[in-house]
Structure 1
Amino acid sequence: MSVPKQKFTADFKQEAVRLVRTTGKNCAQIARDLGVPPHYVVRWKQQQDTQTAAGRPAFTGRGIPALPPQEARLKELEREL
């Protein structure tokens, strides 16, 4: 039996990253407190740093990092094919 993929909201991801930045705890400790695998929190922090540096909001929509307009259009065209 496969385990269904967990989905987390943008707010949950942002709160996890905020906790890492403000509490002095590391990603593994925050992940343990939230009940998620540690690599999730590390990835969310990296995604937020990358998106912020690029001047784009992180975790738009369903919590997925925002794509640049050209990449979003390319994905849309690939889906149509």
Structure 2
Amino acid sequence: MGKHFDQEYKDYVSKLIVEEGRKASHVARELEISPKTISGWVLAYRTKCNAGKTNETYITPTELEKLKKQHEKELADAREEIEILKKAMHIFTKNQA
């Protein structure tokens, strides 16, 4: 009897292939799943996406890295702005005393 995977996992694997452009055979080898099984998942995923029925979003590792880099840049900008405001506050309070 074969392994059973939940729909979320199937969609995640399919997204790796459809949206990241990875080869199904490579993903199948990495995950030790039959390429034929994964091909069926991808077909179902594409059908579901084309029908516009998917409300769930899955983030691939590549997308996650992009989001992390974007977040780190925004955080660095915010910290820099805070430092500038602290210095300005110090200058203005120093002149009032």
Fold match (TM-score > 0.5):
yes
What are structure 2's unaligned runs of at least 5 residues?
55-97
Question: Which residue in 2 is equivalent to 1:39?
Answer: 36
Q: Structure 1 segments of 4 or more deviating over 3 A?
A: none
**Match of residue 52 from structure 1:** 49
Match of 2:7 among 10, 20, 24: 10
Determine the structure 1 residue equivalent to 2:78: none
Q: Percent identity?
A: 23
Which structure has the bigger radius of gyration?
2
Greater percentage in helix: 2
The answer for the alignment partner of 1:26 in structure 2 is: 23
| One-letter amino acid matched to 2:42 | K
- Tell me by how many angstroms 1:44 deviates: 0.7
Secondary structure of 2:15's counterpart equals helix
CA distance in 1, matches of 2:53, 2:16: 21
The secondary structure found in structure 1 opposite 2:46 is helix
